[in-house]
């Protein structure tokens, strides 16, 4: 089943970056099988801006974990950039995560002991980028999110909005296929939240593919597509613009 | 590529250890003390071993020393108020050795007696050693000045003597002893030579001291060598001990010691057996003792090896305790940094990257601890020698050993926490507060 896997992925504009085919995720809670995701079919193209919405318990987080290659589907197929990742082992998944997924978390998840530059460098380190190249790229990204003057600061010395901007810079480090944001404004005041959404919009304009998981309607408004999840199934999909 | 990653991982490790300086220092202390105690213990053990071996080597590894011992009382004539005890080695024994042993190099019969020695108005007690001209071949003594005994001294029973440096120091002080007369018991002897004891610095020294097992300097005031024939004439072979009510106790001993030197190491043990056979045939009483320095030396080496192993093991236990301390701290660190591990895993770290990260922290701790331990461990024996007057020897192998052990401890006790860190579920660890 496992085909020859190459890390070089070639795709043109509008190509399908992410394909879910009848994807299921089941958990075993003792004797009870919990079907968290049921027969999800989903396609995301390059440049998409997708919002996944749903009440808690709808399977949003599980979907996020599967998309982010942190978890493997129980059944079904997951093609990321043309590569079937549902069959990869932990090592290969780790590399795929570092290479093709840019995570933005609700609680920022910066490493407290590292300064801004070092935090942005983390994904590049695991891809084996040279120290010099990764430092240069990290500086560039920090400037892009408007924190070029604070690169030596620790996360604790920054405001929440600034921290999330660092996290976005970090997610862009390896130029991933997908930027996966989980409630990116959930811990922020409205002004900072608006800033972050502005940055995400800008990234979308630059042609990045974004998937945002949220239950905030305002955030969903920014997205081109909206998927509503209920009880582990796609309830409805809304396309805009 | 690998080296590059290793370098950055180490850098990261140093950084995170630096963030917890106090904790890192305390953890490393376990290793520091463990390593230094291994080194110190082995150095003390090795020092003791060298001393023992040197002392034995002074007896000469080619020598077989046969000593007269007083037989136990039951074997002597019983019920007599005044008894004559006759025992010990005889001139005949020495003769028999010469006739029956083929590979013998020299045979030195020795008769010793403690006497008062006078020079002008100074008096000391010294050991008078009646011996033969070839005595020097079996003893680590070196002729400093004048001459040693000669064949004619033996033939004419000359009243001459050779003194050793201790006698010179205590009896003559600043006078030149050569051509002076000393009074031993009731006769005057001309000093013709001075000998000094050769300090034996390594166990390879082949020569030896005729004092036998009590060769520690300072045990007596010094040796005065005079011809064996003269001793026999002047002092006789009887010693009379007056012991209160029971009257006099007379002992007759011809020779206190016979030293047989063979020509090669391989012949030492067979010759010992021959000597034992000869002596047991002619001595009904158990009045002799055969000392084989070579055998003692081998025995001492075995004993010291065990000693070193025991000392080393005790120290190794402290190293083990240090290792457990490291493991404890690393486990705490891992659970404290669960979230960081989750973040790193999400950002592309493989399990092995996490293992390397935590293992490198442990290894940095143990190697730093190992190096400091070597420094401290090398300093301790120095103080032991300086204040405790105990000889110590730090061997390169003990340094390597302890450093190797500390590295092994680092890997052994670092692997499990690292493994645990790597196998944490990234999703769970990201949720961890």
Q: What DSSP element (H or E) covers A102?
A: strand A101-104
Q: Give the number of other Cβ atoms within 10 Å of residue B408's Cβ.
A: 13
Q: What is the mean pLDDT of residues B383-406?
A: 85
Q: Write down the residue that tokens 């409805």 correspond to.
A: A236
Contact A126 B349 (CB under 8 A): yes
Residue B56 makes CB contacts below 8 A (sequence gap 6+) with B203, B293, B296, B297, B300
How many angstroms separate the CA atoms of B306 and A94, rounded?
A: 52
Percent of chain B with pLDDT over 90: 22
Question: Which B-chain residues 349-388 have CB contacts (< 8 A) with chain A?
Answer: 349-353
- A95 in B contact zone (CB under 8 Å): yes
pLDDT digits (tens, 9 = 90+) for B395-425: 888 888 888 888 888 899 999 999 999 999 9
Contact B343 A111 (CB under 8 A): yes
The shortest CB-CB distance from B427 to any of A70, A95, A109 is to: A70
Contact A65 B15 (CB under 8 A): no
- A20 in B contact zone (CB under 8 Å): no
> For residues B322 and B30, is the Cβ–Cβ distance under 8 A?
yes
**pLDDT higher than 60, residue B200:** no
**DSSP notation for B266-281:** GGHHHHHHHHHHHHHH
Structural domain spans, chain A: 47-72+90-239
Percent of chain A with pLDDT over 90: 69
Question: Percent helix, strand, coil in chain A (nearest 5)?
Answer: 35, 30, 35
How many angstroms separate the CA atoms of B1 and A108, rounded?
A: 30
pLDDT digits (tens, 9 = 90+) for B128-172: 888 988 888 888 788 888 889 888 888 888 899 999 888 888 888
Buried b (16+ CB within 10 A) or exposed e, B25-46: eebbebbbbbbbbbbbbbbbbb
Q: Which two tokens stand for residue B111?
A: 């008769």
How near does any CA of chain B get to the CA of A71, in Å? 8
> For residues B410 and B326, is the Cβ–Cβ distance under 8 A?
yes
How many angstroms separate the CA atoms of A39 and A53, rounded?
A: 17
Q: What is the mean pLDDT of residues A113-141?
A: 92
Q: ipTM of the assembly?
A: 0.92
Cβ-based contacts of A183 with chain B (< 8 Å): none
How many angstroms separate the CA atoms of B326 and B410, rounded?
A: 8
- B344 in A contact zone (CB under 8 Å): yes
How many angstroms separate the CA atoms of B231 and B233, rounded?
A: 5
Of B52, B47, B57, the C-alpha closest to B205 is B57
User: Which value, to the nearest 10 degrees, does the dihedral of the CA atoms of residues B21, B26, B27, B32 take?
Assistant: 110
pLDDT of residue B211: 39
Contact A97 B348 (CB under 8 A): yes
- B8 in A contact zone (CB under 8 Å): yes
The shortest CB-CB distance from A94 to any of B340, B343, B348 is to: B348
pLDDT digits (tens, 9 = 90+) for A152-204: 999 999 999 999 999 999 999 999 999 999 999 988 999 999 999 999 999 99
The 3-state DSSP class for residue B365 equals helix
The 3-state DSSP class for residue A28 equals strand
- A7 in B contact zone (CB under 8 Å): no
Of A166, A116, A70, the C-alpha closest to B348 is A70
How near does any CA of chain A get to the CA of B385, in Å? 46
- The sign of the CA dihedral B339, B340, B344, B349 is negative
- The total number of residues shown for chain B amounts to 433
**pLDDT higher than 70, residue B77:** no
Among A160-164, B99-103, B219-223, the least confident range: B219-223
Q: Which CATH number fits domain A47-72+90-239: 3.40.50.300, 3.10.28.10, 3.40.718.10, 3.80.10.10?
A: 3.40.50.300
| Phi and psi, residue A12, nearest 5° | -105, 175
| Phi and psi, residue B328, nearest 5° | -55, -50
**Contacts A–B by Cβ distance under 8 A:** 67
Predicted TM-score (pTM) of this structure: 0.71
Of A202, A204, A144, the C-alpha closest to A173 is A144
Of B369, B286, B318, the C-alpha closest to B89 is B286
How near does any CA of chain B get to the CA of A32, in Å? 21
Contact A111 B5 (CB under 8 A): no
Of all residues in chain A, the one with the smallest CA distance to B7 is A131
pLDDT digits (tens, 9 = 90+) for B248-285: 677 888 888 898 888 887 888 888 888 888 888 888 88
Of all residues in chain B, the one with the smallest CA distance to A108 is B343
Strands B223-227 vs B160-164: parallel, antiparallel or unpaired: antiparallel
How many angstroms separate the CA atoms of B410 and B62, rounded?
A: 48
| Mutation target vs B (from A27, A62, A126; most B CBs, 10 A cutoff) | A126
Angle between helices B351-388 and B293-336 (to 10 degrees): 140
pLDDT digits (tens, 9 = 90+) for B149-161: 888 888 888 899 9
pLDDT of residue B404: 87
How many angstroms separate the CA atoms of A217 and B97, rounded?
A: 115
Of A168, A147, A169, A173, the C-alpha closest to A158 is A147
- A135 in B contact zone (CB under 8 Å): no
pLDDT of residue B145: 86
Of A128, A116, A112, the C-alpha closest to B6 is A128
């Amino acid at each position: 089943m496992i085909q020859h896997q190459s890390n070089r992925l070639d795709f043109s504009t509008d190509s399908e970056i992410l394909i879910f085919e009848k994807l299921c995720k089941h958990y075993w809670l003792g004797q009870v099988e919990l079907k968290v995701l049921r027969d999800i079919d989903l396609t995301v193209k390059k440049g998409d801006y997708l919002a996944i919405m749903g009440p808690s318990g709808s399977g949003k987080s599980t979907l996020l974990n599967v998309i982010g290659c942190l978890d493997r589907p129980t059944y079904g197929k997951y093609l990321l950039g043309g590569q079937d990742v549902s069959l990869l082992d932990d090592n290969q998944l780790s590399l795929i995560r570092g290479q093709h997924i840019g995570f933005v978390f609700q609680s920022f998840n910066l490493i407290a002991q590292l300064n801004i530059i070092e935090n942005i460098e983390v994904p590049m380190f695991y891809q084996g980028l040279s120290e010099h190249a990764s430092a240069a790229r990290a500086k560039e990204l920090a400037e892009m999110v408007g924190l070029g003057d604070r690169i030596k600061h620790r996360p604790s010395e920054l405001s929440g909005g600034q921290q999330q901007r660092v996290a976005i810079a970090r997610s862009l480090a390896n130029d991933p296929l997908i930027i996966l944001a989980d409630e990116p404004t959930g811990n922020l005041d409205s002004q900072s939240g608006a800033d972050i959404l502005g940055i995400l919009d800008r990234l979308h304009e630059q042609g990045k593919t974004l998937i945002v998981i949220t239950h905030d309607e305002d955030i969903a408004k920014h997205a081109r597509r909206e998927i509503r999840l209920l009880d582990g199934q796609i309830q409805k999909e809304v396309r805009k613009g | 590529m690998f080296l590059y990653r290793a370098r950055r991982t180490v850098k990261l490790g140093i950084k995170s250890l630096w963030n917890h300086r106090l904790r890192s220092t305390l953890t490393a202390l376990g290793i520091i003390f463990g390593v230094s105690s291994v080194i110190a213990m082995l150095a003390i053990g090795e020092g003791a071993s060298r001393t023992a071996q040197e002392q034995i080597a002074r007896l000469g590894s080619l020598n077989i020393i046969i000593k007269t011992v007083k037989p136990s009382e039951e074997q002597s004539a019983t019920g007599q108020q005044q008894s004559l005890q006759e025992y010990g080695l005889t001139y005949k024994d020495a003769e028999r050795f010469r006739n029956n042993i083929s590979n013998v190099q020299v045979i030195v019969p020795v008769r010793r007696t403690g006497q008062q020695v006078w020079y002008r108005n100074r008096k000391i007690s010294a050991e008078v050693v009646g011996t033969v001209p070839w005595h020097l071949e079996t003893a680590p003594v070196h002729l400093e000045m004048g001459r040693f005994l000669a064949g004619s001294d033996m033939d004419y029973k000359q009243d001459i003597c050779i003194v050793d440096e201790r006698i010179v120091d205590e009896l003559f002080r600043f006078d030149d002893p050569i051509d002076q007369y000393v009074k031993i018991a009731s006769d005057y002897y001309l000093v013709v030579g001075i000998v000094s004891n050769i300090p034996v610095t390594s166990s390879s020294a082949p020569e030896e001291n005729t004092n036998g097992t009590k060769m520690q300097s300072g045990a007596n005031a010094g040796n005065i060598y005079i011809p064996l024939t003269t001793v026999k004439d002047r002092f006789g072979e009887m010693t009379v001990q007056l012991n209160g009510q029971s009257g006099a106790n007379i002992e007759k001993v011809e020779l206190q010691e016979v030293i047989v030197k063979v020509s090669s190491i391989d012949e030492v043990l067979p010759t010992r057996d021959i000597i034992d056979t000869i002596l047991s045939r002619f001595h009904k009483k158990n009045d002799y003792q055969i000392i084989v320095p070579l055998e003692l030396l081998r025995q001492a080496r075995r004993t010291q090896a065990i000693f070193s192993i025991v000392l080393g093991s005790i120290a190794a236990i402290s190293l083990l305790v240090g290792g457990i301390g490291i493991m404890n701290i690393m486990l705490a660190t891992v659970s404290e940094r669960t979230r960081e591990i989750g973040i790193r895993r999400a950002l592309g770290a493989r399990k092995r990257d996490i293992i390397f990260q935590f293992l490198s922290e442990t290894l940095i701790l143990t190697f730093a601890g190992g190096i400091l331990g070597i420094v401290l461990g090398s300093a301790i024996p120095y103080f032991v020698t300086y204040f405790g007057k105990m000889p110590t020897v730090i061997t390169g192998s003990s340094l390597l050993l302890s450093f190797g052990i500390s590295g092994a401890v680092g890997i052994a006790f670092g692997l499990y926490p690292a493994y645990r860190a790597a196998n944490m579920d990234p999703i769970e660890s990201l949720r961890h507060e």
